[in-house]
Structure 1
Amino acid sequence: MAFIQQTLCMFVLSLYGQIASGLINGTAITNGQFAAHVILSLPNGKTCGGEVIDSAHILTASTCIFNEYNELLSPNVVTVSGKWNLTASTLTPQLIDLNVAAIYAHPQYDPYSKENDIAVLRLATDLPLEAGILQPSMSKADLTTRIVADSTSCLLAGLDSNDSSSELSYTRLPIFNRIECNQNEEYTFEIKDKMICAGTTTSDSLICEADIGSGLYCNGNLTGILSFGAGCGNTYPGVFTQVRMYNHWIRQQLRRSDIPRAGPTPPPSNNRSSGSHKRFGILLLIVTTALLSNLLEHDIGSSN
């Protein structure tokens, strides 16, 4: 439970405007909870979450670091402001500015189906995670390697939608069965093997757009990265990228020395056309079946 044993770290990028609303009816985070959680503010007032995975890297969703034209953002448009408690005897935070040096989006990220919705940000300045530099210090998230059982109670932190001061809150979300999630009218055929659902269908969702990229913690480990949902305050579970499916890819990004160029990126092999063709095929089958049924009924009626 390292992520709730260290001081709260909150990143706020305030360069591009107001932060969008976040968790609804969340519980206020106390000092020492969710030390790996960060907040990213992006161009045009867009806000996302993220999780510290080592002193130089943040894990978030690829959705957060592409613009409305599905072009990769340049790292130089991102300035990170971090607040830490410098001593154990005071709760007054000090502000530290950090820049992003490189953005590594998953090469198979599909902005339409949200498959492989995961990205790593490299900071230009290392975070002070070492013990003794800041007291209490920040901590990194522990990445899960195991499957999490359905109904497991997990935690999601994010901006408090009712707090104008950009404070954080958290909520409990149970793991929702993937098959049942896929049968939901909002998510039919959209939940892939590398995704998990968390939440319920019996109460208003606590998840909003500003929480995209935030980490889902199950059994104390970072289990999912929030990818998408069905709006804000609706009775649908949130959909998360499964971190355990990407542990090897994440480790590869930590060793990279290149800096990807901003702008258009090659479309993934599993792009929108593939998903559209599948959905069209299903629709065509339904229509064909209905037409054949009507013709059969008509023939039977005629013969009588």
Structure 2
Amino acid sequence: MAASSTQSLPVRRLGFGSVADADLFREIAVETPVSVEICGIGYAVMMATPADLRDYATGFVLAEGLADSAADIRSIDVHPVEGGVALRIWLPPERTDKALDRARRRVSESSCGLCGIENIEEVLRPLPPVAARIATTRAAIAAALAALADHQPLGRATGAAHAAAFCAPDGTIRFVREDVGRHNALDKLIGALARAGVDPGTGFILLSARCSYELVEKTVRAGCPMLVTISAPTSLAAERAAAAGLTLVALARADSALIVSDPHGMIA
């Protein structure tokens, strides 16, 4: 775990019943502003855990559609700045115009999501159909769920971080990234796969999070055929998964899970 991912906070435990009061130190997850600059353009400021930031930068650019692969990224510079971190990402000159246009459009986005007719149309635009296929089983999903906690050092230390894991079809966990934000954790995971040259179409993604439509879209655009989440999906997430042909499993627990969609019968 990166040293900058946690900090120690003095707290006073308030006991109930037989539990005594006590002065304690509690490890908490670091959340800091991360400024994303693309080709010298101020693009976004995200709240994130300042670890695996090159993975995050790669996944962010891929999710925004500003690059098609990690090879499109010329360089990523991580700079500590007053109050946070600056991520400076450089793409080829031919991609600068797209970054500038997208940055202008982001100005009209609100803190709670997207505003305006054009942005609503952008949210609801068709997703590319999922082309990859895997063959997996309920036992593999259960095995991945059981093993996830062992791959969450930040989560164990703080109880305040999400995890995104990439799993082989047999349930073996191959990559995990953590962050205080579920979207950030997934961006970090997708970036890590891209930087390692691992095809997301060869396994499934497991998230310790509520399944919102953005997580479905990031999974589909990464080319991964299956998403498993430990919490419930929203209506739009379920609709978008079905339309794109994504296998979606939600409310995954030790004893059961709900198949929201499995259009290609990938789960035995």
Q: TM-score range by the shorter chain?
A: under 0.3
Based on CA coordinates, which of the two structures has the bigger radius of gyration? 1
- Bigger relative contact order, structure 1 or 2 (CA pairs below 8 A, ≥6 apart): 1
Normalised TM-score (structure 1)? 0.21
